[in-house]
Homo-oligomer: A and B are copies of this chain.
Amino acid sequence: MSEIPYKIYLEEGEMPKQWYNVRGDMKKKPAPLLNPGTGQPVTAAELSHVFCDELVSQELDDTSRFIDIPEEIRSFYRMYRPSPLVRAYCLEEKLKTPAHIYYKFEGNNTSGSHKLNSAIAQAYYAKKQGLKGVTTETGAGQWGTALSMACSYFDLDCQVYMVKVSYEQKPFRREVMRTYGATVTPSPSMETSIGRKINEEFPGTTGSLGCAISEAVEAATSQEGYRYVLGSVLSQVLLHQSVIGLETKAALDKYGIKADMIIGCAGGGSNLGGLIAPFAGEMLRGENKYEIIAVEPASCPSLTRGVYAYDFCDTGKVCPLAKMYTLGSGFIPSANHAGGLRYHGMSSIVSELYDQGLIKATSVEQTNVFEAAEMFARVEGILPAPESSHAIRVALDEALKCKETGEAKNIVFGLTGTGYFDMVAYQRYNDHEMNDFIPTDEQLQKSIAKLPKI
């Protein structure tokens, strides 16, 4: 085994040419999306009003194991990929742990996160279909930024509904999107009937992700030549994000490293699902064993405290129903919760893998998360996004356990992005004004009680 460098970069020729669809290796498949009107599995025809045709077929394809990455997308990937798999030598030294810590860093692109991996794919298929543009929602702004970049590359119109509270608190994120030519509208807006209705019912509301989704879907279906695109949760998104896991696995294999533990933060599940895909595949095929840990915020604990059931994906209830671990579509995490990972549900694939026992889940409180973030920033030189820092927290804890047991585990975690646009949260942490918010059982029961009856 050669000495392991600080950063493992694959050569261009070693980069994945196909995405990996973990559903192809699952004996028990994730439950299908349902038409909320009929209660029947949605058809490709129904979905094609909302999504691009090729993305619909990816969404519904639960048998193909590999899907070719078109050359145009691979060409864009080469602009910012391969992302490095970093050996955290400095962190190991700081912790004095015998564990070997690796992180796959997806933040070295202007969108600041892994979201670009799927944004460019979705924009490509929209362009290929001859569409004029796409609509979407964004919360913290990472997905909106990524999509703006992708659309600008393919010269597509990009309309982003940004949760109002973020629109106002994160003017710089908004400005990056504008620089890439996107139109950014605070949600709920007066431009859609759902937005007007929500504004009327809840005057002065600062919006939610579920509401912004509803607006974006309405905007897409009411304009000729537009489709809706989504940055997480969907199986197609996890498919595109498998590039993270494939590169990670190739980089580890290149140096003969066997991961013992794979840790990822989980909001909608796109990063986690992408990172773990090829590892979960080996487990599903009985070839290998890994300890996989999904980390979610204690303030939005869909895996650890939700129920596994069909639920609405959006507030306006215009999207298909998905079976997932959910807190109920009416659940909105506390406003003091920083960053993303605010979605009430979890991707069907991750939910099903969790239900089958292939994945463990844990939740962490945000002050502990920021403590880990700041420590990581100081020793590894990267200021992490609040989302990514959930994974850092658990990786640190696991590395410290190794220190006690003396085990030299190989711990791999996903560092999804940078926190340059999250300095308000860091400021609150530095000023000791940050607190934790954990929903009560009563609160959760209330929102879970409103699940649709299927």
A: residues with CB less than 8 A from B are 5-7, 9, 11-12, 76, 78-80, 90, 108-110, 112, 149, 152-153, 171-172, 175-176, 178-181, 374, 377-383, 418, 420-421, 423-424, 426-427, 430
Contact = CB atoms under 8 A, between A and B. Distances in A.
Given A5-B12, A108-B108, A181 B423 contact: no
A11 B377 CA distance: 24
Nearest to A145: B383
B80 A381 contact: yes
A238 to B, nearest CB: 23
Contacts of A6: 12, 78-79
Q: Give how many copies assemble into the complex.
A: 2
Given A152-B378, A153-B378, A153-B381, A420 B172 contact: yes
Nearest to A384: B110
Main secondary structure of the interface of A (DSSP, over half): helix
A367 to B, nearest CB: 15
A45 B152 CA distance: 57
A176 B377 CA distance: 10
Contacts of A420: 110, 112, 172, 176, 420-421
Given A172-B423, A380-B79, A110 B418 contact: yes
Contacts of A11: 5
A248 B332 CA distance: 50
A240 to B, nearest CB: 17
Contacts of A109: 381-382
Nearest to A373: B179
